[in-house]
Amino acid sequence: MASKTEIARQFIEAIPHSRALGMQLTELSDGVAVIEMPYDSRLVGDPETGVIHGGAVSALMDTCCGAAVMSHPANPGGTATIDLRIDYMRAAKPGQRITARATCYHVTRSVAFVRATATDEDADNPVAAATGAFTVEGSR
Amino acid sequence: MKSPRRPPEPVQVIKQRRDATLRALVDGVPYIQFLGIRFERRGDELTGILPFDQKLIGNPMLPAIHGGVTAAFLEVTAIITLSWTYLWEDVESGAIDASGLETDGLPRLPKTIDISTDYLRSGLPRDAYARARIIRSGRRYASVHVEAWQDNRDRLFAQATGHFLMPQPRD
């Protein structure tokens, strides 16, 4: 029997938009997910500087937060985003991959609460931070 | 006393100028092209259009548009509308030459400080539309609300509020 973690990994890597952005799940366990997204010139938001568009960072954050929720032991099934807020602290360095790490830090019968940070290769200075609420689906 | 009034500009001149400004804003951004977002203009009102595409799917089971795509669509619509409004006066008065925008590049774009997206319904596998409203725009900061819908204008599938850092004049 495939573990829930393995099912979640397959589920995430089968998402057409996540594939289009080249997302790779590198860590997933008990409410924590790490997803990497390589630099891609198609995702540039400012042609003058080559900086990745905030929207692509949003897609990465949303996927990573959803994955964290699905991997939480208290969440029996799938999930959907209720709301997600993203703070952009600085521009990601052009040419560098972006790594998102999400933690699902609390789960009730209906809602999962998540925070996430995104970094480029300078892991000490986050590019963006996110907080969100997600649905908890199915019953225990 | 009254100086003779200038005749109104020919409609084609006005359209050419406004459409050139919009093209300069939208066509130069790779990520907007990647998602396939277009803008329709009526006077100064802009509507963002996200034509459905398989690569926008986030949940293959339903299927539904990826939440990140929805957030990106709202953010793009907010930034383009904000830039458009910011440029409008200068382009209309002739202080900025619209034909030069497309070749010489744009003034700096506003930068997102934060954006908060509410997912109200799942995004269905069909075209989506969005319009942004500038709540306040000062010299340094702007606050923008943006709404997105699919079949019915009154049934939003997502909305967002974002704060933006306005471009500062180059010295």
In a domain, A140, yes or no: no
Tokens matching residue B121: 């319904």
Instruction: Measure A56 CA to nearest chain B CA, in Å.
Output: 7
Domain that holds residue A122: 4-135
CA A70 to each of CA A12, A66, A84, A112, B120: distance values in angstroms, whole numbers, following the listed order: 10, 6, 16, 10, 20
Task: Of B61, A32, A14, give the one whose Cα is nearest residue A23.
Answer: A14
pLDDT in tens, B72-93: 999 999 999 999 998 888 888 8
pLDDT tens-digit readout, B40-54? 999 899 999 999 999
**In this predicted model, what pLDDT tens digit does every residue of A49-102 receive, in sequence order?**
999 999 999 999 999 999 999 999 988 778 899 999 999 999 999 999 999 999
How many domains is chain A partitioned into structurally?
1
Cβ within 8 Å, pair B29-A46: yes
Q: Which of A133, A125, A126 is nearest to A81 (CA)?
A: A133
- Which of B57, B68, B114 lies at the smallest CB-CB distance from A87? B114
Residue in chain B closest to A81 (alpha carbons) equals: B119
Give the number of other CB atoms < 10 A from CB of residue A18. Answer: 28
Phi then psi dihedrals of residue A136, to 5 deg: -110, 120
Token pair belonging to B152: 């019915």
Rounded Cα–Cα distance for residues B75 and B44 (Å) = 19
Domain CATH code at residue A9: 3.10.129.10
What is the reported pLDDT for B6?
81
Phi, psi of A30 (to 5 degrees): 40, 55
Partner B contacted by A48 (CB < 8 A): yes
Is A67 domain-assigned? yes
Prediction ipTM score: 0.91
The percent of residues above 90 in pLDDT, for chain B, comes to 64
Q: Which residues of A touch B77 (CB under 8 A)?
A: none
B146 touches chain A (CB under 8 A): no
Rounded CA-CA distance B41/A61 in Å is 31
Residue B143: beta bridge partners?
B136, B163
User: What are the φ/ψ torsions at residue A71 (nearest 5 degrees)?
Assistant: -90, -5
pLDDT of residue A139: 55
Number of helices (H) and strands (E), helices first, in chain B? 4, 8
Which residue in B34, B55, B117 is closest to A84 by CB distance? B117
Q: Which of A17-21, A106-110, B98-102 has the lowest mean pLDDT?
A: B98-102
Q: Residue A94 falls within a domain, yes or no?
A: yes
Sorting pLDDT into bands at 50, 70 and 90, what band is A8? low
**Which run of H or of E encompasses B147?**
strand B141-149
Closest CA to A29 of A84, A80, A79, A67: A67
Assigned domain for A81 exists: yes
pLDDT at A130: 98
Q: Is B35 near chain A, with CB under 8 Å? A: yes
- Tell me which of A58, A83, A135 to substitute to probe the interface with B (most B C-beta atoms closer than 10 Å): A58
Q: Determine whether the interchain pair B31/A83 forms a contact, defined as Cβ–Cβ distance below 8 Å.
A: no
Number of H helices, E strands in chain A: 3, 8
HSE of B77, CA atoms in CB hemisphere, 13 A? 35
pLDDT exceeds 50 at position B160: yes
Is the model's pTM score more than 0.90?
Answer: yes
- Residue B129 · residue B72 · CB < 8 Å: no
Which residues on B lie below 8 Å from A15 (Cβ)?
57-60, 66
Segment 75-134 of chain A within 8 Å of chain B by CB: 78, 80-88, 91
Backbone angles phi, psi at A133, to 5 degrees: -120, 135
